[in-house]
Amino acid sequence: MQYPDIRQKLPFIGSVLLGCFLSWVLFPSVLSAIETPFFKELLPPQTPAIQVVAKAQPVQPQPPTSQSETLPKETRQKRTFYLCASPNSLPYSSRDLDLPGYELEIGKEVGKILGINIRVEYLRAYRPRDYADCDFLIGVIQPEDEEENSRGRFFTSKPYYGTGNVLVIPKEAQGIKSIDDLDKNLKIGIEPGSWAHYILTHKKGFTVTPYVTQEDIIEAMANKEIQAAVVTAAAVGWYLKQHPDAPIKVPEGYVPEPELRWNVVMGVNKINKDLEEAINAALTLLTQNGTIQSIMAKYGVPYYPPFPATR
């Protein structure tokens, strides 16, 4: 039997087979991909590349208020803005939708006033390579000078509250209003290597008892292993919120001492420089109407108005 010579037909057959393959495999895939939310999220030019979180939690955009009207419409609608936070750092931030942390709640309130769509990205650590594509960082310590603020990828908002290290004493203690009122022979709990550790030992001459974490220090106070402690206002406030009957307290009317206090700001990616005025206006509004104070009180954290600059 004689077989036809198919070598001359191979180019044609190959083209037909290749065309069929592309039509069958690729074309439906492209159509399907275009219809998915994932593909649509790739379209905005500023979509962050951070992949260190589980599932982000979108916050639906709110109707514009008088403040959001100051933003260009294209700014409010062009894309999702990413608010970065730690996933397990109560009272500051948390994955828990029912208890997200006071810093995260404040950040979301700012987004509502601005009328922008905010999505939370949870970072495991605040390393430059992790937060490079964040739009907003919460709970940032205010830089000491403008030169420091001008460096890097972020600028900072106006301060929206003050905080610092506070004195913790036994609930029954009387007549102690400041660290300087403490007896130098007392066992004072402190976090080793912290700024408070330096101030108490090198500036004030105390002998301190180091503990690994703030929580360890407060537990030692509650168990009467030490007679005093210096920890952050947020740490002890959150502890007392959870343990209202604990035998410890912060002296009534106590304000962090000048060497142990700082202001808190929001870090804003410089690509969002056009939002600076509106963010500051939103923070002012949230302070004036008591929202920030109310949110912090829910977590037991004391609100101090921003402290005046020391320089």
Q: State the pLDDT at residue 123.
A: 85
pLDDT-based confidence at 38, cuts 50/70/90?
very low
- Burial-class residue 153 by CB neighbours within 10 Å (0-12, 13-18, 19+): middle
Q: Please say whether the beta carbons of 211 and 187 come within 8 A.
A: no
Better-predicted residue by pLDDT, 298 or 143: 298
DSSP code of 174? -
Q: What is the mean pLDDT of residues 46-54?
A: 31
Round to whole Å and give the CA distance between 278 and 110.
Answer: 9
Q: Answer yes or no: is pLDDT of 131 > 80.
A: no
H or E, element range at 190: strand 188-190
The answer to whether residue 13 scores a pLDDT higher than 80 is no
Look up the CATH number of domain 164-260.
3.40.190.10
Q: Work out the average pLDDT over 231-249.
A: 98
140 pLDDT above the threshold of 90: yes
What digits encode the pLDDT tens for the residues 57-89? 443 434 334 455 555 666 655 678 999 999 999
135: which DSSP letter?
S
Confidence of residue 149 (pLDDT cuts 50, 70, 90): low
Q: Which two tokens stand for residue 201?
A: 């030992």
pLDDT for the residue numbered 99: 96
What residue spans define the domains of the chain? 57-161+263-298, 164-260
Q: pTM score, two decimals?
A: 0.75
Q: Which fold has domain 57-161+263-298?
A: D-Maltodextrin-Binding Protein; domain 2 (3.40.190)
